[in-house]
């Protein structure tokens, strides 16, 4: 079974694209964006657009010229690489020597195939859902621009390369054709984003369901004396680390877009806004100063991005905080209860060696970490991603969030030192 068979069965086009590998996929998508968008902008004449001391041409809008040829292809390449990590984790968890995932007390050699089949179910409906969401978000983003392009009167929604024809520097139809091309590429990128994020959620859901559903012939057999204290689930850690890192990269993009729009459409230039945030960094006035939130600068596209931020966060937290946390905690508590009773009985019959062994077992269970990538790293990545998401919504809270993060790190260090 190939990565494409495992992840994209039932999706013929994407299956072929994923089969090319993460590097080839990234390079091809990046080259397509460079040719269609960067070269297309030059041919259309919208690559540069000096306006009031600023250049608002396509090449100078980083949320287009940098994100689509470079950042998004790199992120999608990372997501495809995650498929290797997912399959590697399944192989290690079902291996005979670890035996963490079993099938009726035997090696679960078909667990990967089971997950692949489950992920391929209702593939057409899944594709239709991703397409619908991508088209809806693109329409929301471009609705005001499309209305202006059709009517061609009144003030444009924003003065940049999308309406450069109003200055007479480029022909109307050339501008419109390139606008349609750019927004079509945006729709493709949004579709890919939904496809990968929702597929990863599907994988986590099927994996966790296989562990907790008695109707599924697979069973989770935790390693009580796991040196890492993760009940044998460490193989999932690399996959989750990379996923959360890619989420953070996407969130930084959204935060950057938020600041960019504040600098373009608000009462502040970008440098003046950052200076205002810095000047009030240690004062409460930043938090209560409604002018610094600049809600009026958020366009429809950014509203869609800000709302979409919640989806990858939910997916990232789904396995450790919802399903796996509940299941593993119950399993750990059940094993602890069994050990307590056995420990009591060993003490009563004077079997000190057995009692000591059970005491160590209970101590090991008490220290179990519920994040496959380790509680410390898992929580740090999740909290960082939440903090960036909050900052994207409300930039004046940036300094407060940094201060809270530093305080929490110091408190954790202090508690650790005290416990020693």
In a domain, 128, yes or no: yes
Enumerate long-range contacts of 173-181, CB under 8 Å, 24 or more apart. Answer: 174/44, 174/45, 175/44, 175/46, 176/149, 177/44, 178/40, 178/41, 178/44, 178/46, 178/58, 179/142, 179/145, 179/149, 181/36, 181/37, 181/40
Report the number of distinct structural domains present in the chain. Answer: 1
Range of the domain at 119: 1-221
**What local confidence, expressed as pLDDT, does residue 377 receive?**
79
> Using CA atoms, how far apart are residues 48 and 43, in angstroms rounded to an integer?
11
Each residue's pLDDT, cut to its tens digit, for the chain (420 residues) gives 889 999 999 899 999 999 999 999 999 999 999 999 999 999 999 999 998 777 889 998 888 898 899 989 999 999 999 999 999 988 888 887 777 888 876 777 788 888 899 889 888 899 999 999 999 988 888 888 999 999 888 888 888 899 999 998 999 999 999 999 999 999 999 999 999 988 988 888 888 777 777 777 888 887 777 777 777 888 888 888 888 888 888 888 888 888 888 887 767 787 888 887 776 655 666 677 778 888 888 877 788 788 878 777 777 776 666 666 676 677 667 777 777 778 777 877 887 787 777 777 777 766 777 777 777 777 788 888 888 888 888 888 877 777 777 777 777 766 666 655
In a domain, 388, yes or no: no
Q: Token pair of 5, please?
A: 């068979």
In a domain, 397, yes or no: no
In a domain, 341, yes or no: no
In a domain, 203, yes or no: yes
In a domain, 414, yes or no: no
In a domain, 182, yes or no: yes
In a domain, 132, yes or no: yes
Distance of CA 249 to the CA centre of its chain: 8
Look up the pTM and report it. Answer: 0.82
Cβ(319)–Cβ(395) under 8 Å?
no
> Using CA atoms, how far apart are residues 168 and 114, in angstroms rounded to an integer?
60
């Amino acid at each position: 079974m190939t990565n494409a068979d495992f992840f994209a069965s039932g999706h013929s086009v994407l299956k072929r694209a994923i089969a090319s590998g993460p590097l080839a996929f990234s390079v091809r998508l990046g080259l397509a964006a460079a040719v269609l968008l960067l070269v297309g902008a030059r041919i259309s004449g919208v690559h540069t657009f000096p306006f009031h001391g600023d250049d608002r041409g396509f090449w100078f809008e980083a949320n287009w010229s940098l994100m689509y040829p470079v950042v998004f292809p790199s992120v999608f390449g990372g997501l495809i690489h995650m498929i290797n990590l997912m399959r590697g984790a399944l192989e290690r968890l079902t291996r005979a020597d670890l035996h963490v995932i079993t099938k009726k007390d035997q090696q679960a050699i078909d667990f990967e195939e089971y997950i692949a089949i489950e992920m391929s179910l209702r593939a057409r409906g899944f594709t239709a859902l991703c397409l619908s969401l991508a088209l809806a978000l693109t329409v929301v983003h471009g609705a005001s621009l499309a209305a202006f392009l059709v009517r061609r009167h009144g003030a444009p929604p924003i003065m940049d390369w999308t309406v450069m024809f109003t200055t007479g520097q480029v022909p109307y139809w050339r501008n419109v054709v390139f606008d349609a091309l750019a927004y079509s590429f945006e729709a493709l990128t949004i579709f890919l984003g939904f496809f990968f994020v929702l597929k990863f959620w599907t994988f986590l859901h099927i994996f966790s369901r296989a562990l907790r559903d008695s109707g599924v012939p697979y069973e989770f057999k935790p390693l009580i004396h796991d040196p890492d204290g993760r009940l044998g689930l460490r193989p999932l850690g690399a996959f989750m680390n990379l996923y959360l890192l890619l989420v953070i990269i996407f969130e930084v993009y959204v935060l950057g877009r938020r600041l960019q729009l504040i600098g373009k459409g608000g009462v502040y230039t970008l440098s003046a806004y950052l200076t205002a945030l810095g000047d009030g960094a240690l004062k409460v006035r930043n938090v209560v100063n409604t002018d610094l939130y600049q809600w009026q600068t958020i366009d429809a596209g950014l509203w869609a991005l800000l709302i979409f931020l919640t989806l990858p966060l939910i997916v990232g937290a789904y396995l450790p905080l919802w399903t796996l946390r509940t299941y593993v905690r119950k399993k750990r508590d059940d094993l602890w209860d069994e050990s307590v009773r056995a420990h009591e009985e060993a003490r009563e019959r004077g079997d000190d060696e057995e009692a000591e062994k059970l005491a160590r077992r209970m101590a090991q269970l008490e220290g179990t970490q519920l994040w496959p990538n380790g509680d410390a790293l898992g929580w740090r990545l999740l909290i960082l991603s939440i903090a960036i998401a909050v900052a994207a919504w409300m930039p004046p809270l940036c300094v407060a969030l940094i201060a809270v993060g530093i305080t929490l790190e110091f408190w954790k260090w202090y508690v650790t030192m005290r416990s020693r």
